[in-house]
């Protein structure tokens, strides 16, 4: 049975409650085993210093035993019970988990869960015996470990961290040293797929001393083992040397969701960033430091790419080590509710969290139903930046009053009138990035025809590209139903523009790259862009076209429960970009539409586009524009 990154790793954010609760991240810890790493990010009164706390099933994650370790100190483990308890879909915070460390009221937390899985992660324990030579410690990683982190559980000893030729300490800023206490790092013959060696040092075995117990966390690197074919990589442990400006580009073969880095040549903090807390392209990351108890801080270090990450702001001409974990999900969705939802709500005029989305969203567009600019905000660009599909404007921001955060089951809105004015009615459309459904790529233009990688894992059938950095013509649209030399413009009512050879370079995208030509709207040198990519996903989404018949017709999308979202645009003549959703109504009794290319208020109809079991139905007697006889149309629908 295939294994995916979402089966073995989770970054889950939560707010402390001061009481027992369950954290559902869909990671099976009680059956498979693994590690939970928790850090207090901040409290409502401002920044807050609290330790990085680690629990694992090898040492005990039950109601009777859940001892903790702290990464920023040399402290031995502290015995606890009923604190963090392993479950089949995550973990529970038990009745004793009421302190500010992991579950304090008015505190916010990040948790990183690593499940034991060959070619990804393992955790092992042993009792020291002061053996004078190399002692083999068995493991189940299935490959030679690329990173080994060892902690003495009994005594106050450093956290030993071994990665290639780097020998250091997770709890300090120290550069690499020569204390080779652990054999079995990736470049040593004593590292095998079943064991690693521990050695004595200066007459005393700090990793194998009689009377001491130990734990080791083992990480694989580029070992495959994941995805449908079992060949996909999900974790990479490597190094890079930045240039004289402190920048570097790292190729992983996938987009990361979690990155930990450390300068191997100089005393410098360890840094951890992840895309749940915020690791956007072109703006500040939210990072934590495992060698200190400091609260979360912000700085623009890491920009994820479709195939790795770019990094900047580091000490120049230095070598850094890193661990990177692949962004999920890797599974192709099978139901639309796992990747799309719409919520109709009334603004509060005060900060508010909108929940009940049913998944962790990556994209939200908010329409004021009475009419005005509708901001588009997404996780990859950062929650403080917005674009408007009805304008040619560049990206606006940063602003802390629009989307204050992307959450595990929704988003939090600030007080900005376009998203949360008191007593104003809104509709929110939420999308999640997923294979064969939706992907997003941020890129910098080259000025020459080129290709950019993506992770849709299918051929994009609908592409929407917008310049972020500059005011130019607008939102360029590629549709697989049109020639590769044609384009449409989302912020205009224009018909298909044919012969536009410099937009997509007259080249159709593939399952791994999309092409852009020299047109400034998609590829001006030094300008920054965002591209949203969509495809037909069986039973979930449909990108297609139809020809109007002037009366009524049903568009079969292959759905079984009807369309919940429909976007329609006429291509052979001028016409608006019509948006329908079931949250506002897609029935013969209530069927209002909004426009992507206009700030007009919602227009009510009585059944112009209605949901039917296989997709959606059109009625030109209610709204002629969506079904003109012999007119040609493109559409995007989600079940």
pLDDT at 443 over 50: yes
pLDDT at 191 over 90: no
pLDDT at 369: 97
Cα–Cα distance for residue pair 505/499, rounded to 1 Å? 10
Cα–Cα distance for residue pair 346/426, rounded to 1 Å? 6
Cα–Cα distance for residue pair 59/369, rounded to 1 Å? 54
Cα–Cα distance for residue pair 591/42, rounded to 1 Å? 44
Question: Residues 366-374: what's their mean pLDDT?
Answer: 95
User: Tens digits of per-residue pLDDT, 374-422?
Assistant: 999 999 999 999 999 999 999 999 998 999 999 999 999 999 999 999 9
Question: Residues 593-600: what's their mean pLDDT?
Answer: 97
pLDDT at 186 over 50: no
Question: Residues 60-74: what's their mean pLDDT?
Answer: 95
pLDDT at 177: 84
pLDDT at 328 over 80: yes
pLDDT at 131: 86
Cα–Cα distance for residue pair 170/161, rounded to 1 Å? 6
pLDDT at 106: 87
pLDDT at 97: 76
pLDDT at 181: 63
pTM > 0.85: yes or no:
yes
Question: Residues 55-84: what's their mean pLDDT?
Answer: 95
Q: How far apart are the first and last CA of the chain?
A: 27
Q: Is 164 left (phi over 0), alpha (psi -120 to 50) or beta?
A: left
Asked if residue 309 lies in contact with residue 302, where contact means CB atoms within 8 angstroms, the answer is yes
Question: Residues 617-635: what's their mean pLDDT?
Answer: 98
Question: Residues 451-457: what's their mean pLDDT?
Answer: 98
pLDDT at 143: 97
Torsion of CA 313, 317, 321, 326, to 10 degrees: 50
């Amino acid at each position: 049975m295939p294994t995916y990154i979402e089966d073995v790793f989770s970054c889950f954010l939560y707010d402390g409650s001061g009481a027992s609760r369950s954290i559902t991240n869909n990671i099976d810890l009680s059956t498979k085993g693994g590690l939970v790493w928790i850090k207090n990010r901040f409290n409502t009164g401002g920044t807050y210093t609290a330790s990085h706390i680690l629990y694992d099933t090898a040492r005990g994650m039950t109601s009777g035993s859940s001892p903790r370790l702290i990464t920023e100190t040399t402290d031995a483990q502290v015995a606890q019970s009923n604190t963090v308890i392993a479950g089949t879909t995550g973990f529970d915070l038990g009745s004793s988990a009421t302190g500010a460390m992991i579950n304090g009221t008015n505190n916010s937390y990040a948790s990183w869960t690593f499940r034991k899985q060959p070619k990804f992660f393992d955790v092992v324990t042993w009792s020291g015996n002061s053996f004078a030579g190399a002692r083999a410690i068995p493991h189940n990683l299935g490959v030679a470990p690329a990173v080994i982190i060892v902690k003495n559980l009994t005594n106050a000893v450093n956290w030993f961290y071994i990665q290639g030729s780097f020998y250091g300490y997770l709890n300090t800023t120290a550069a690499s040293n020569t204390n080779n206490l652990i054999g079995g790092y990736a470049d040593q013959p004593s590292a095998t797929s079943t064991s690693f060696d521990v050695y004595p040092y200066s007459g005393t075995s700090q990793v194998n001393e009689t009377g001491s117990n130990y734990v080791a966390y083992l990480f694989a690197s580029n070992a495959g083992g994941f995805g449908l074919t079992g060949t996909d990589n999900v974790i990479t442990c490597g190094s890079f040397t930045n240039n004289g400006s402190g920048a570097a580009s790292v190729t992983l073969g996938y987009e990361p969701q979690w990155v930990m880095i450390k300068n191997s040549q100089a005393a410098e903090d360890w840094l951890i960033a992840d895309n749940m807390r915020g690791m956007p392209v072109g703006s500040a990351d939210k990072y934590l430091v495992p060698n200190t108890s400091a609260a979360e801080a912000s700085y623009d270090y890491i920009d994820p790419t479709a195939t790795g990450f770019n990094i900047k702001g580091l000490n120049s001409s230095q070598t850094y080590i890193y661990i990177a974990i692949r962004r999920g999900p890797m599974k192709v969705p099978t139901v639309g509710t796992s990747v799309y939802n719409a919520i109709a709500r009334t603004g509060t005029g005060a900060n508010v969290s909108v929940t009940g989305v049913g998944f962790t969203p990556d994209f939200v567009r908010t329409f004021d139903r009475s009419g005005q600019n509708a901001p588009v905000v997404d996780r990859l660009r950062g929650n403080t930046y917005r674009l408007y599909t009805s304008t040619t404007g560049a990206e606006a921001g940063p602003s802390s009053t629009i989307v204050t955060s992307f959450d595990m089951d929704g988003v939090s809105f600030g007080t900005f009138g376009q998203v949360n004015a008191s007593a104003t009615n809104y509709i929110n459309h939420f999308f999640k990035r997923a294979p064969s459904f939706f992907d997003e790529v941020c890129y910098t233009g080259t000025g020459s025809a080129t290709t950019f990688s993506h992770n849709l894992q299918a051929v994009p059938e609908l592409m929407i590209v917008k310049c972020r950095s500059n005011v130019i013509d607008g939102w360029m649209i590629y549709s697989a139903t049109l020639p590769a030399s044609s384009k449409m413009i989302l912020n205009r009512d224009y018909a298909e523009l044919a012969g536009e050879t410099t937009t997509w370079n007259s080249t159709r995208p593939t399952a791994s790259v999309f092409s852009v030509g020299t047109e400034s709207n998609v590829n001006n040198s030094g300008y920054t862009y965002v591209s949203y990519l969509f495809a037909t996903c069986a039973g979930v989404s449909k990108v297609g076209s139809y020809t109007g018949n002037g009366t009524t017709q049903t568009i079969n999308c292959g759905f079984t429960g009807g369309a919940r979202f429909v976007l329609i645009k006429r291509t052979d003549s001028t016409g608006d970009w019509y948006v329908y959703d079931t949250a506002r109504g897609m029935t013969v009794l209530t069927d209002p539409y909004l426009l992507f290319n206009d700030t007009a208020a919602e227009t009510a109809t009585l059944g112009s586009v209605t949901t039917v079991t296989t997709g959606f139905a059109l009625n030109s007697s209610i709204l002629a524009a969506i079904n003109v006889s012999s007119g040609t149309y493109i559409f995007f629908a989600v079940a």
